[in-house]
Chain A
Amino acid sequence: MDVGFSLRGGAAGAVGMVRGMADSLQFSIRPELTLEERVLTNSEGSAEEMPTIGNDDLKEMLESNKESLKLEAMKRIVGLMSRGRNASDLFPAVVKNVANKNIELKKLVYVYLVRYAEEQQDLALLSISTFQRGLKDPNQLIRASALRVLSSIRVPIIVPIMMLAIKEAAADLSPYVRKTAAHAIQKLYSLDPEQKDHLIEVIEKLLKDKSTLVAGSVVMAFEEVCPDRIDLIHKNYRKLCHLLVDVEEWGQVVIINMLTRYARTQFLSPWREDAQFDENSEKTFYDSDEEKEQADSRPYVMDPDHRLLLRNTKPLLQSRNTAVVMAVSQLYWHLAPKHEVNVVTKSLVRLLRSHREVQYIVLQNIATMSIQRKGMFEPFLKSFFVRSTDATHIKTLKLEILTNLANEANISTILREFQTYVKSQDKAFAAATIQAIGRCATNIDEVTDTCLNGLVLLLSNRNETVVAESVVVIKKLLQTQPSQHSDIIKHMAKLLDSITVPMARASILWLIGEYCERVPKIAPDVLRKTAKTFTAEEDIVKLQILNLAAKLYLTNSKQTKLLTQYILNLGKYDQNYDIRDRTRFVRQLIVPNEKSGALSKYAKRILLASKPAPVLESTFKDRDRFQLGTLSHTLNTKASGYLELSDWPKVAPDQSVRNVEVFEPVKEWAPSVGKAKPAKSDKFYSDSEEEEEEEEASGSSSSAEDSSSSEEESGSEDDESKSDEGSDKSSTQSESDEKQQVLRKTAGRGLQDSYSEDEKTAIRPKPKTRGTQFQPKASSSSGSSSCSQSSSEADSDSDSDGSAGLEQKQISKPKAEVKVKKEVSLLDLDDFNPVSASVPKASILSPSLLSDLEGLSLSGVSAAIEVSSPVFVPHMSHELLHRMSGKGLAACYHFPRQPCIYDPRMVSVQLTFTNCGEQPVQDLRVGEASPPALSLHRFAAVERLEPDSSITVSMGIDFNDSTQAASFQLCTKEDQFSVSVQPAVGELFMPVTMTEQDFHKEQGKLTGMNESSTTVTVASESTSAQIITRKVVCVANMGVVPSSQTNVHRFAAKTASSEALVLATVELKEASAARLLVNTEETVIGSMLLRDLKTALSQG
């Protein structure tokens, strides 16, 4: 192609033609290539002059008469621009073609102009007259494109021309031109901010526009130019709400964000009382139907405009555009009553299927939401399970969310997941998992010990990151409650013999040094051992040996004086100067001599200062100060141009400002077909339009009523709400000090906080402030721990004081099956085997949970039959206490089918209490069980349940493998109600997984007496495997056993209390007959299960 450059004149035309063809045929012989080749051959520095050589050629082509040549030249110029080359010297040649007839050429010239006009202002003026002519063109699209280019040329001189053009275009008949005008407003504003006032006038005018085309663009202009002029929105608010569904998707995002801010300044907080909403309100999350009836007396009535916004944005959750879905979600989060926010959950979870980048942003927002409201995402827990193919930042975010969602009911599932993650090849992720385990351990008291034990096992991991992280987390956990864990420290001391990872050794030594007073017998012995190996240790370990020696010398100088001196001597002659330095420093500090000054007096205070316990909390904790979905939220810093979301107003602003002219209200904010709008933008979907109009009509009539009566009502209503606020305030004040901090916010806000706080305290002890993070809330947690201890059979008190107790415990667990036996042998610290599990302290936890974490040891031993997670959890709940008999307190229960964390023999039951009465219910707890022998784990007492709120607690009941109801007393401060929980036989099981062979083997053992069978006619449409499985697991909490025959389905479970195997087989015969077979030692259970299964399968 070099030849091409040497040709001139007429020949150039022909070559250009050829080139054009070659280009269009997508061959790679292109002029750009030659340029690149030259760049390659030339040095970097001379690249600057390159374009000028080529550009002469281009200039000539542009000045020729051939249109195809010009076009070709422009295409090459665009190529230069796209690679960031400077092509500004061609400006005079290009600008001449601005009036060319060829549309493609013209467009490319526009592209060029917009890019370079700023640099060549004088020459750019040459093109202005063309655009001015274009503004008058009869074709609306030419008018629009002329305005678009004119406003994109950033030349300050033409500001007045632009202003004029924008004003004219804003009044254009074509909505498309008006849309372009809206875009031009932002351009002019960035060029010359002094035009603001004039531009606001134009915005005001365009905001009144009823076209869906204009709405998005003008709101964008509003946000850029005058986001604080909220008064401009009033009159257009209802119109925008109605148009929203039909606006193009990008406009929807902008409008929704703007309306969120608007609503926060104009409406009262809906978070005060979760009661009474109009017909459209979603099914409430906690509240039952009865509550709604009672709620009529509440003073809060949602502004119909507020409701309008929520109602009209909801369908947009179904948008394919992820940004729209996120925008609606944040709108609901910031504006909707608490119980309605849940409608966004599903849509957000759906977005997780999208691209990696979308996942990242959505997960961040979910993380923030899940801190405040666990309930929203708890049902979707499994959607946040990590896949090995996820990117690291996605994995960490998912981990964050899982940790936030952890509670007593699902902790066993989560820990089992974590167990897999810890083994991940991605070590950064494994380390993050360990931290997450640490956080779960501090948040949920019941699993603290299990987690701690699991982490101790991880210390024997080969990977340093894992070990270091575990040590750090253990250290943090121990620092919060060191007194209880002297045996873990002892245990770690034992580990020192086998662990080789220097980092871990060093950490253990630090721990022993730090808490040497708690292990007064072991610490000196450790020092003795390490003194022997001192010379062979790594530097980092040597430093910690020195540390340990120094600390022991200060606390126990009698025993360790000689040892310390020996170590200091060794250190003095070490090869590493760091160690020599440290030795010198330590010697001066601790060994009193005449030279050592004032410092040695304080040696003890220096070395044994109490180190503050580190804080384990979510990094997303304080992100809720930013509006969700914003850039600032993602970055966790205020991005430039971030608009603060204001707090709710205390007193409702005048709602009549949104009323439009009384004489034609419908026309104004419910555009009717063809009348108010230009013909082109008629609503196409007339059916939806009609429906909408109907709605609008009803809405308008109601709002009209409102507005007419509002004058009389508003005063009294306000008073009422104020007094109500007052009384609520006083009641919250009485609760605790911490809430006073919250109350400095507006009253509405404060109430919301207290509401949510109550919710949380009941679920788990909530840390009060940063400093005291780890002090469990006195009343509730002590209550729970005490009763858990009393209910757990193992004598957990006695064994805390050492090996004597341990032996005793060995005896006291005779009824244990395989797993527990394994533990018993491992409990023996003397025979300690570093790879397998050890339980230095009896815990109140179930062996199943322990075995979960045993897996952390990487021993890889898996039993053939193991308890698995439930296949299916039915959501049916049963009534425990009706509100009438409960004097306003209603309660229902359901079986979450999770292994009970208090005791493996118990079945976990979730109770939901709702206060339907007028008075708060205080001190709600479980009283006596009616057969006193009934062992049940009581839930932590609920201090206070506000009217119209509800709370979910979990408890464990040992039904002893019978379907006899468990009765107990439910006590409040004033009353006692006796209630009973009646389990279905299928709820007494824990599902197990096993292979088909194992199934046959076990089945073979359970024949004769232990087998019961029947035949059943299966409803014809439900012979598929899926439906049969669904029916069976719906009735009974059983695990599915893989089957090689398609007509035989097998299920297996264990009874919770006696751990007897229960095997069920459904064998399909021809003509929808089926044989049902149940094998179990517990014949009563077997026959009951058989009956239940039969009923379920024969139903259609």
Chain B
Amino acid sequence: MIHSLFLVNSSGDIFLEKHWKSVVSRSVCDYFFEAQERASEPENVPPVIPTPHHYLISVLRHRIYFVAVIQSEVPPLFVIEFLHRVVDTFQDYFGVCTEAAIKDNVVVVYELLEEMLDNGFPLATESNILKELIKPPTILRTVVNTITGSTNVGEQLPTGQLSVVPWRRTGVKYTNNEAYFDVVEEIDAIIDKSGSTITAEIQGVIDACVKLTGMPDLTLSFMNPRLLDDVSFHPCVRFKRWEAERILSFIPPDGNFRLLSYHVSSQNLVAIPVYVKHNITFREGSSQGRFELTLGPKQTMGKAVESVLVNSQLPRGVLNVNLNPSQGTYTFDPVTKLLSWDLGKINPQKLPSLKGSMSLQAGACKPDENPTINIQFKIQQMAISGLKVNRLDMYGEKYKPFKGIKYMTKAGKFQVRT
């Protein structure tokens, strides 16, 4: 399936290559570079590129292209999904997935890639199994290794791969047993210029951090499971239980993992927690434009809207801006024309605003379109859909674990058209 993998950085250098079958010359990447040149933005490089003898399937993450070379028919999503899994694994191991981190840990990277694919077919992609095979590099461990002469590679062969719960490693032991669940919801919305919602939906995930000894069997139930319109599970969740009782029953992997992602149907009305008042005008023939933006909270159920960040790609004709924020700071990049305003928390008594003028290129005509405004924000301790976890129970082990649940609402792709 996957013949070779090339990692290409943003300046177009191949800094790592790995082959699982016969070696494919790195000149095959020339086709990729050609496509890269044609694309105006890094994101515009097509994910699938045919070449005379091979097909290149690439993903772009953290400004690194992961280019897989394949030779014959294979579902493209199969390769794409695998490449993303590789990136996730790197991130898990090294904390960040950057060119420097990969180069520094090239041996671990090679060992990982060797275990993840056999003859181009995925072998072990579960992080729990991989961690048993190859220990993640930490400073402490490397110091210990050099002194004692032990190695990064697990002496024990992975048992998880053989068990029926391949996602959980065996022999887990903790002194403090704890299980944390984060319910994080993101609102995707498009708001039109009159302030009415064109489309809005809620995407949620439950991320878990479970550090429990032994083989615990957990069940998690919701107050209002009917809210969940469409769900996708970690393989550990028993689907039948969910179908029948709407209860999540599972043996968790050890450590961090994503238990569930869900979608709250757009049929239900989505509460929009902020509103934006804007007045952005360009006048024909004048080299000045007015810019006014005010944000305010709406339907937040009394919670504060925090970490608000407003981004807007201004038209090309804008030379510079002269704005006055009532709170926070703003930056404007005259090259990319990106305006971003970091305003922190919204105070309902004194609404934050950003007002001032834009100077336009002299003689240029007025831009066709007003810029769209992208908003990011966070609301702690609230799931905007109203989803509530009812209880978490543990079976199979004797001790009493510490349990915690946190709710958060964030803006996903939240756009306001002006």
Nearest-neighbor residue (CB-CB) of A384 within chain B: B199
Given contacts A250-B121, A635-B50, A680-B163, contact A630 B368 (CB under 8 A): no
Query: Contacts A24-B146, A82-B109, A388-B313 given: A681-B43 contact, CB under 8 Å?
Result: no
Which B residues are in CB contact (< 8 Å) with A350? 230, 232, 263
- Closest Cβ of chain B: how far from A239's Cβ, in Å? 17
The interface-forming segment of B12-20, B174-182, B206-214, B397-405 is B12-20
CB-defined interface of A299-328 with B at 8 Å, one 1/0 digit per residue? 000000000000000010011111101110
A993 to B193: give the CA distance in the assembly, Å.
Answer: 11
B238 neighbours in A (Cβ, 8 Å): 685, 687-688
A276 CB-CB contact with B under 8 Å: no
For chain A residues 54-84, which have a beta carbon within 8 Å of chain B? Answer: 67-68, 71, 75, 78-79, 81-84
List A contacts of B203 (CB < 8 A): 353
Residue of B nearest to A320 (CB): B232
A183 x B73 contact (CB < 8 A): no
Interface segment among B151-159, B286-294, B321-329, B353-361: the answer is: B151-159
Which residues of B75-132 are within 8 A (CB) of A? 75-78, 80-82, 84, 104, 106-107, 109-111, 114, 118-119, 121-123, 125
- Asked if B334 lies at the interface with its beta carbon under 8 angstroms from chain A, I say no
Number of A-B contacts (CB under 8 A): 300
- Residues A326 and B75 in contact, CB atoms below 8 Å apart: yes
Known: A176-B162, A388-B313. A642 touches B73 (CB 8 A): yes
Interface 0/1 of B35-72, CB less than 8 Å to A:
00000110110111010000100111100000000111
Partner of A104, one of B40, B153, B298: B153
CB-CB nearest in chain B for A380: B266
Complex contact A868–B155 (CB within 8 A): no
Judge whether A639 is part of the interface by a CB distance below 8 angstroms. yes
Report the Cα distance A108→B152, complex, angstroms. Answer: 12
Residues of chain B in range 180-211 having any CB-CB distance to chain A below 8 Å = 188, 190, 192-199, 201, 203
CB atoms of B80 and A382 under 8 A apart: no
- B: interface residue count bin: 35 or more
Q: How many whole Å from B142's CB to the nearest CB in chain A?
A: 3
Inter-subunit contact B372/A388 (CB<8 Å): yes
Say if the beta carbon of A356 comes within 8 Å of chain B.
yes
A319 to B232, CA, bound (A): 5
With beta carbons under 8 angstroms apart, the residue of B43, B142, B190, B251 that contacts A385 is B190
Residue A257, interface by CB 8 Å: yes
Inside 8 A of A959's CB, which chain B residues have their CB?
none
How many residues of chain A get a CB closer than 8 Å to chain B's CBs?
Answer: 132
Residues of A within 8 A of B258 (CB): 320
Name which of A151, A391, A393, A417 has the most chain B CB atoms within 10 A of its CB: A391
> Would you call B162 and A634 a contact (CB within 8 A)?
no
In the complex, which residues of chain A have a beta carbon less than 8 angstroms from the beta carbon of B268? 1030
Is B393 engaged at the interface, CB distance under 8 Å to the other chain?
Answer: no
- Measured CA separation A17–B266 after assembly (Å): 61
Question: Which of B80, B158, B243 neighbours the largest number of chain A CB atoms within 10 Å of its CB?
Answer: B80
Question: B391 in the interface, Cβ–Cβ < 8 Å?
Answer: no
Q: In the bound complex, do residue A868 and residue B196 qualify as a contact, i.e. CB atoms below 8 Å apart?
A: yes
How far, in angstroms, from A392 to B21 measured CA to CA in the complex? 35
Chain B residue at minimal CB-CB distance from A116: B23
Given A315-B239, A461-B368, also A82-B18 (CB < 8 A): yes
Contact with A along B250-269 (1 / 0, CB 8 A): 01000000100101001111
CB-defined contacts of A315 to chain B, threshold 8 Å: 239, 243
List A residues 645-687 near B (Cβ within 8 Å). Answer: 680-685, 687
Q: Which residues of B contact A326 (CB under 8 A)?
A: 75, 77
Give which listed residue, A141, A190, A323, A1033, contacts B75 with CB less than 8 A. A323
- A270 in the interface (beta carbon within 8 A): no
- Inter-chain contacts of A245 with B (CB < 8 A): 239
Assess whether B136 is interfacial by the CB under 8 Å rule.
Answer: no
Tell whether, in the assembled complex, residue B162 and residue A680 are in contact, meaning their CB atoms are under 8 Å apart: yes
Shortest Cβ distance from residue A825 to the other chain B in the assembled complex, whole angstroms: 22
* Option from A24, A183, A866 in Cβ contact (under 8 Å) with B137: A24
* Chain A residues, Cβ within 8 Å of B303: none
CB distance from B199 to the nearest CB of A (A): 4
List residues 367-406 of chain A with CB under 8 A from any CB of chain B.
382-383, 385, 387-389, 391-393
Residue from the list B1, B75, B146, B199 in contact with A327, Cβ < 8 A: B75
Q: Is A423 interfacial (CB-CB < 8 Å)?
A: yes
User: Does B122 contact A425, Cβ atoms closer than 8 Å?
Assistant: no
Q: Choose from B14, B21, B78 the contact partner of A84 (Cβ within 8 Å).
A: B14
Contacts of B82 in A (CB 8 A): 250, 323
CA distance A327 to B81 in the complex (A): 13
A28 sits at the interface (CB 8 A): yes
In chain A, residues 181-200, which have Cβ atoms closer than 8 Å to a Cβ of chain B? 183, 186-187, 190
A-chain residues with CB within 8 Å of residue B195 when the two chains form the complex: 993, 995, 1042
User: Among B44, B80, B261, which residue has its beta carbon within 8 angstroms of that of A391?
Assistant: B44
Chain A residue nearest to B66 in the complex (CB): A357
B59 interface neighbour in A83, A325, A355, A417, Cβ under 8 Å: A355
In the complex, how many angstroms separate the beta carbon of A765 from the nearest chain B beta carbon? 30
| A851: min CB distance to chain B, Å | 13
Q: Produce 1/0 per residue, B216-239, CB < 8 A to A.
A: 000000000000011111110011
In the assembled complex, A115 has its CB within 8 A of some CB on chain B:
yes
Q: How far is the CA of A420 from the CA of B370 in the complex (A)?
A: 10
Q: How far is the CB of A966 from chain B (nearest CB, A)?
A: 28
Q: Are A357 and B80 in contact (CB under 8 A)?
A: yes
The answer to whether the Cβ of A164 comes within 8 Å of any Cβ in the partner chain is no
Identity of the chain B residue whose Cβ is nearest the Cβ of A144 in the assembled complex: B157
A641: chain B residues within 8 A (beta carbon): 71-73
Contact A630 B73 (CB under 8 A): yes
A682 to chain B, nearest CB (A): 6
Interface flag for A907 (CB, 8 Å):
no
Contacts of A249 in B (CB 8 A): 125, 235
* Cβ A217 vs Cβ B76 within 8 A: no
- B78 and A346: CB pair below 8 A? no
B77 CB contact (under 8 Å) in A20, A21, A180, A361:
A361
Q: How far is the CB of B265 from chain A (nearest CB, A)?
A: 9
B149 located at the interface, meaning its Cβ lies under 8 Å from any Cβ of chain A in the complex: yes
Residue in chain B with minimal CB distance to A688: B240
Q: Is the beta-carbon distance between B232 and A83 smaller than 8 angstroms?
A: no
Known: A20-B146, A356-B60, A361-B77. A639 touches B72 (CB 8 A): yes
Question: For the complex, is A14 an interface residue (Cβ under 8 Å from B)?
Answer: no
A593 to B266, CA, bound (A): 74
Contact between A175 and B162, CB atoms less than 8 A apart? yes
Within 8 A of B (CB), among A91-108: 102-105, 107-108
Contact (Cβ within 8 A) B23 A684? no
B223 to chain A minimum Cβ distance, whole angstroms, is 13
Residues of B near A691 (CB, < 8 A) are 240
Please list the 10 inter-chain residue pairs (A to B) with the smallest Cβ-Cβ separation, ordered nearest first.
A24-B142, A641-B72, A141-B157, A684-B164, A104-B151, A382-B199, A423-B369, A104-B153, A357-B47, A391-B43
Additional pairs, 11, CB under 8 Å, beyond known A82-B109, A320-B235, A423-B369: A115-B19, A142-B157, A174-B162, A183-B121, A183-B123, A356-B43, A391-B41, A634-B48, A642-B73, A872-B267, A1040-B196
